[in-house]
Amino acid sequence: MTIRSYEAITPSLAEGVYVDPTALVIGDVEIGEHSSVWPMTVIRGDVQSIRIGKVTSIQDASVLHVTHRGPHNPEGFSLQIGDYVTVGHKVTLHGCTIDDYCLIGMGSIVMDGAHLHKQVILGAGSLVPPGKVLESGYLWVGSPVKKIRPLTEKELAFLGYSAEGYKNLKQKYLDTLTN
């Protein structure tokens, strides 16, 4: 695994975190317990902070970054990801907030200042424009994203199931590293 400091700030990994050896995690990044970062992912906390909650998976080839403070954006945008979040393959998350129990579909892009409230499913290939707020409990799809319908009970249950599934899978990977 490649964990790199930037300007004397080293990423912090909680107990039971798996970071694939091909992933890159840089700078002001904190990853919560039992979370996972999969192959070819880049998490770059160089000009703002990135916080990833517990039992959250960041899947293959995703890119997580932030926006610096400057004259056009005095506060910049950090990246906040809650607990029990599943981030699909090749997702770009940039300076946004993702609350607990969300699923971000493969190839989606979530831009600066966007906020996905808890229990949101974002369909594959969706684009969440800057500053867009996605209401809790809905399926959102499209480019730009649109609210499609309320989540079913089965879909709501799947959000936790998905996160736990990746928690179990990352443990198998960690076990192979220690054996």
Instruction: State which H helix or E strand residue 156 sits in.
Output: helix 153-178
Alpha-carbon Rg for the chain in angstroms: 15
Compute the mean pLDDT over every residue in the chain, rounded to the nearest whole number: 96
Say how many C-beta atoms besides its own lie within 10 A of residue 178's C-beta: 5
Q: What is the pLDDT of residues 96-119, one digit of tens each?
A: 999 999 999 999 999 999 999 999
Q: What is the pLDDT of residues 6-56, one digit of tens each?
A: 999 999 999 999 999 999 999 999 999 999 999 999 999 999 999 999 999
Report helix, strand or coil for 171. helix
Give the global pTM: 0.96
CB contact at 8 A, 178 and 171 = no
Report helix, strand or coil for 87. strand
Given its phi and psi angles, is residue 159 left (phi above 0), alpha (psi -120 to 50 degrees) or beta?
Answer: alpha
CB contact at 8 A, 59 and 19 = no
For 53, half-sphere exposure in the C-beta direction (CA atoms, 13 angstrom radius) is 18
Return the CATH number of 2-178, one of 2.160.10.10, 1.10.3720.10, 3.90.1640.10, 1.10.150.130. 2.160.10.10
Q: How far apart are CA 51 and CA 11, in angstroms?
A: 10
